[in-house]
Structure 1
Amino acid sequence: MNVKQILGSKGSEVVFVAPGCKVSEVSKVFGERRIGAVPVMDKGRLVGIVSERDVVRGLAIRGAAVLDDAVDTLMTRSVATCTGEATLNELMEMMTERRIRHVPVVEDGKLIGIVSVGDVVKERLQETQQEADALKEYIATA
């Protein structure tokens, strides 16, 4: 299983914001779209990612005033990305090592999707179920 296959089943639509977008606006996007992170794009280029965690951290430090700040004050600038060819295991390893929940998928410098830890868990559970079903079938026919 690779990232392209995950995007094929979940879709490759990516919601993104500009660096000057207010934190209050990105917070609305999180709630309306039921997502936990949004890539930050500037002139078609990935320049960061902002997550619910970033907003909560900003609120803890600056209080409600952070809601009027631009997302580029909170975003992670050094974004961990992958390609569509990355395997499920590689993605799990990256997410675990870096303690991240969302990974933008970039091919030839272009953002083509985003994969969340929920997407990874869903795919892994399906793989495990298929393996269990195959073993049961094998045992039943042996």
Structure 2
Amino acid sequence: MKQRVPVSQIMAKVLIAVPSTKKISEVNQLFADYNIRHIPVVESEKLIGIISVNDILKIGYSNADMDKDALNDIYDAYKLEDIMTKNPLVVTEDTIIKEVAELFSKQRFHSLPITDKAGKLVGIVTTTDLINYLIAQY
């Protein structure tokens, strides 16, 4: 296996990011449209949080048998800032993949936003990205 490979080699560089003012129903639709599970939340290109499919499921789970419009009304009773993870752990684009794997193995999350040295959001890496990288090594 290759040693000291930076996470920039496996991170998603084309990002879907949303402002904190975005409606939860709209964020939920982005998850469906792009088949993704994590979206960074930004204000003026600065990362302020991250939202996951699971965060949204938690507020609508008991009402999952409702029609889409009624469920969207429940989602939109919340603000994105109420359910997102604020100030998430981030890594820089030169963090090595092994360190990212260690973070995933010790934490309860499945994605990490990636910033450049100036702190600008430049990517995201998920456990799926990591698994695909490991599979490609064999």
TM-score, normalised to structure 2, is: 0.83
1:119 corresponds in structure 2 to 129
1:103 corresponds in structure 2 to 112
TM-score, normalised to structure 1, is: 0.81
2:75 corresponds in structure 1 to 67
Return the structure number with greater helix share: 1
Return the alpha-carbon distance in structure 2 between the equivalents of residues 22 and 3 of structure 1. Answer: 31
Aligned residues: 125
Q: Which runs of 5+ in 1 are unaligned?
A: 130-142
Return the alpha-carbon distance in structure 2 between the equivalents of residues 66 and 93 of structure 1. Answer: 37
1:4 corresponds in structure 2 to 8
Amino acid of the structure 2 residue aligned with 1:39: P
C-alpha displacement at 1:70, in angstroms?
Answer: 2.4
Moved over 3 A (4+): 60-66
C-alpha displacement at 1:60, in angstroms?
Answer: 3.6
C-alpha displacement at 1:5, in angstroms?
Answer: 1.4
1:27 corresponds in structure 2 to 28
Q: Which runs of 5+ in 2 are unaligned?
A: 65-70
1:23–1:66: 8 Å Cα contact kept in structure 2? no
C-alpha displacement at 1:116, in angstroms?
Answer: 0.9
Identity level (%): 26
Return the alpha-carbon distance in structure 2 between the equivalents of residues 102 and 66 of structure 1. Answer: 26
Amino acid of the structure 2 residue aligned with 1:6: I
1:133 corresponds in structure 2 to none
Higher Cα Rg, which structure: 1
Return the alpha-carbon distance in structure 1 between the equivalents of residues 91 and 114 of structure 2. Answer: 5
Return the alpha-carbon distance in structure 2 between the equivalents of residues 23 and 82 of structure 1. Answer: 26
Q: Aligned-residue CA RMSD in angstroms?
A: 1.7
Return the alpha-carbon distance in structure 2 between the equivalents of residues 66 and 106 of structure 1. Answer: 33
1:83 equivalent to 2:83? Answer no
